[in-house]
Amino acid sequence: MDTLDITGNMWGMAALAAAAMLVGFSKTAVSGANTISLAVFAAVLPARESTGVLLPVLIAGDVLAVLTYRRHAHWPTLWRLFPAVAVGVLIGTGFLFWADDAVVRTSIGAILLLMAGVTLWRRRSTEPARTAAATGGDGAGGQDAADGGGAVHDGTEAHDGTAADGGGAVHDGTVVGRAGRGRIMARSYGVLGGFTTMVANAGGPVMSLYLISAGFQKLGFLGTSAWFFLIVNTAKVPFSAGLGLIDAKSLLLDAALVVFVVPGAFIGRACVHRINQRLFERLVIGATVLGGAQLLLR
């Protein structure tokens, strides 16, 4: 892999450094914003190899996110997702073994556009909660609804039999039906998330949609997401190395980029309670669409 050739390209390195900083910011502030980083890495580097270069940068961001939000994870949700995610990662590994750079580039572009569409759909589906929060919700609950999450789970309390938990204390037909739908939802999102994160490091929007639909508040969302991606991304390293996507040269480039993740994470942590979520999501969606279209037309 000739990824180190990029070090002679000042603008290319600047773009990768900015993308690495955005990874840190997204991990501690707005999950899913690193789809922009994905598009930048795939545009500056060969698309297939870019996934291997980006992975250690993402892991660095995951470590910082876990250090920040480690107390807010909901582990039953994580354990429910992991088996399906493992299946998706294996499918994605097989795809990468077969696909060449052109196919991977097109796939990343298509995944980005798909994730932008999913995010738009999510924003429309949560608009009533956002409107209620904007017109004066009930304190902390209104804040979290405005941030795109339900005012239900903060990651520090036990869940109470929601569909995401797949259980309930009262075993009537309604609860059993919700439990079944919860398991189906977890498996579906898990497989899709595993595939998209393996092929394009683009599992963020998929998991964001799942956690939001499960009713997580902002801190619970960030804590559960942080642990999820630290574990999954670390587990992906042997697969990426086996595919030749991670090697000594790519790790040297990562060493130059990881330092930019730290200030991005600190900026995100400082801004997480001050972000105008609607405007930022619009910018992220717009940049994601442009990035995906650029990869498809390249």
Within 10 A of 39 (CB to CB), how many other CB atoms are there? Answer: 26
Tell me what pLDDT residue 265 has: 93
pTM of the model: 0.76
Tell me what pLDDT residue 232 has: 96
Tell me what pLDDT residue 153 has: 52
Q: Parse the chain into domains and list their residue ranges.
A: 3-297
Rounded to the nearest 5°, which phi and psi values hold at 247?
Answer: -145, -175
Tell me what pLDDT residue 126 has: 63
Task: Give the Cα separation of 201 and 34 in Å (integer).
Answer: 9
Tell me what pLDDT residue 127 has: 65
Residues forming beta bridges with residue 216, ordered by sequence position = 153
Tell me what pLDDT residue 138 has: 41
Q: Can you tell me which residue has the tokens 């998706």?
A: 88
- What DSSP string describes 117-167? HHHHHHHHHTHHHHHHHHTT--THHHHHHHTTS-SSB-SSS---S-TTTT-
Torsion angle defined by CA atoms of residues 207, 209, 214 and 218, in that order, rounded to the nearest 10 degrees: 80
User: Letter for the amino acid at 275?
Assistant: I
Q: Are 265 and 65 in contact (CB under 8 A)?
A: yes
Tell me what pLDDT residue 33 has: 76
Task: Give the Cα separation of 95 and 100 in Å (integer).
Answer: 10
Interhelix angle 204-213/101-125, rounded to 10 degrees, is: 20
Torsion angle defined by CA atoms of residues 90, 91, 95 and 96, in that order, rounded to the nearest 10 degrees: -30
Q: Are 124 and 285 in contact (CB under 8 A)?
A: no
Rounded to the nearest 5°, which phi and psi values hold at 251?
Answer: -70, -35
Residues of the chain with pLDDT under 70: 1-8, 32, 122-123, 126-181, 275-281, 283-284, 287, 298
Tell me what pLDDT residue 169 has: 38
* Four-residue CA torsion sign, 21, 24, 26, 29: negative
